[in-house]
Amino acid sequence: MNTRLSRRGLLTSTAALLACGWLPAQDGRPPVATPRATDGDERFEPNWDERFTFTVTPEMAKAAGSGDRAIQAACDYVSRLGGGTVRLTEGTYTLRNAVWLPSRIRLQGSGPETVITKIASQTIKLSEDSDWYDQEITLAEAGQFQVGDGVTFVTKNPHNGSQTVIKRTLTARSGLRFKLNDGLRENLWLSGEPTCSSLFPLLTSENTADVLIENLTLDGNKAHSANLNGNYGGNIFIQDCNRYTIRDVVSRNSNGDGVSFQICHDVIVERLHSHDNADLGIHPGSGSQRPLIRDCRLERNGLGLFWCWGVKYGLAENCQILNSRTYGVSIGHNDTDNVMRNNEIRGSGTFGVLFRDENRGKDFWANRNTLENNRIIDNGGDDGAAIEIQGKTRDLVLTGNEIRETRGPAKRVGIRIGAAVGKVSLSNNTIEGFAQPLLDQRPA
């Protein structure tokens, strides 16, 4: 199954890491001119001409009983050999559980006709209490659930009334009683009306690094799936991961997010087509540092690009963000020092770009962000704004943007600046077609 791979594809090679800025600059120590494979040293490694490749077909997936088992087996096998490629041929792979991606792996489809989708979801109530230390649950009825299925439990926290969400896998059963792959660590008491749903991301991972996902289609089966919040799922959902690249992927029809990554650093998303998802097209999640989002097309999502909390030093460029039902771009809670340039943001339902009011603490606003050379056209309702700046946001740079309204002025505003907003630098922006090109509500 070995095959020759291009140098560009070897994610763990020194050259690839340096090209992506994943290794720190030299600090005076001699440079590594001729790297060798040294036990325990993952920073520098030779640029191997060939690595292991495992090819998976729909027929293999069918023989394994579900698409996730065949793909997961291939990923685990390649990971045991130190990394390489899992290649999926054209066809449809229907999952009953998420595929968990290990470190140092490339998951490669054969183009848009390689489709990963999922079974229709089902939600059933629990019939017995389970405590936080338990590793089992009991369903009120069997439904479609099988051993090996990915599931999500939702309940009301008995202490404060908030929602609790737990993701697990069913690993054994006796009638309506199922063992889980891990302890609950939260209470599933009947007083909280707990439910079990066949909900899971299509591709997911935690605490892994150096992964490439490319050249395939992810379909979340939105019409037959309950919603899964983007803090827990999406067609792609990763958490506490580093140096992921998502390239030439279609992510569509999720009843949730197209792509969500939480506390993940140096994530690259390029040439993604994320469309017709219920919630967010791309969700750089809390604490994620240095995301790079370029050449993507985000269409007909609930919201196009959502910068979550504490996302810093990111770049979004050359993207088309079209016909979002609410906002084309939303940026807020401590999302600082990011650049958005050369994007087209068109047809958003509420605002083209929203700088959110984040009145949760001393200085949680989206400060020191740059909006440069974007085309922001025909966004919002009759009294909406192309760019809305709220709260105490400060130190923004808006330069060289083309901000147009072609549907008629109505009560529309080009740029609206709230009364408490701090310094905003405006230069060389073209603003045309609005009732008010600039509405600055700050005291004179």
pLDDT given for residue 359 in this prediction: 86
The pLDDT assigned to 25 comes to 46
Q: What pTM, to 2 d.p., does this model score?
A: 0.91
Distances (CA, A) of 213 to 19, 103, 110, 413: 18, 12, 12, 40
On the question of pLDDT at 14 being above 60, the answer is: no
3-state secondary structure (DSSP) of residue 322: strand
Mean pLDDT of 198-218: 98
- Sorted by where each begins, the domain ranges of the chain are 89-116+201-440, 123-197
Q: Which of 55-64, 113-122, 162-171 has the lowest mean pLDDT?
A: 55-64
| Segment among 33-47, 95-109, 163-177 with least mean pLDDT | 33-47
More confident residue, 346 or 54: 346
Q: Minimum mean pLDDT among 35-44, 384-393, 400-409: which range?
A: 35-44
pLDDT at 121 exceeding the cut of 80: yes
What tokens appear for 442 in the block? 């700050």
Integer-rounded Cα Rg, in Å, for the chain is 23
Give the least confident one: 156-170, 225-239, 361-375. 156-170
What is the mean pLDDT of the segment spanning 327-337? 98
pLDDT tier at 7, thresholds 50, 70, 90: very low
- Between 23-37, 143-157, 223-237, 271-285, the lowest mean confidence (pLDDT) is in 23-37
Q: Which of 50-54, 160-164, 301-305 is modeled with the greatest confidence? A: 301-305
25, with CB counted inside 10 A (0-12, 13-18, 19+), is exposed
Residues 6+ apart with CB under 8 A from 394: 365, 367, 368, 421, 422, 423, 424
Lowest-confidence segment of 60-74, 389-403, 420-434 by average pLDDT: 60-74
pLDDT of res. 2: 40
Return the minimum-mean-pLDDT range out of 131-135, 275-279, 330-334.
131-135
SS3 per residue for 13-81: CHHHHHHCCCCCCCCCCCCCCCCCCCCCCCCCCCCCCEEEEEEECHHHHHHHCCHHHHHHHHHHHHHHC
Q: Are 273 and 297 in contact (CB under 8 A)?
A: yes
pLDDT score at 268: 98
The residue ranking higher by pLDDT, 31 or 217, is: 217
228: Cα within 13 Å, side-chain hemisphere? 33
What gap in Å lies between CA 115 and CA 250, rounded to an integer?
9
% of the chain residues with pLDDT over 90: 83
Question: pLDDT by residue (tens digit) across 257-282?
Answer: 999 999 999 999 999 999 999 999 99
CATH superfamily of 89-116+201-440: Single-stranded right-handed beta-helix, Pectin lyase-like (2.160.20.10)
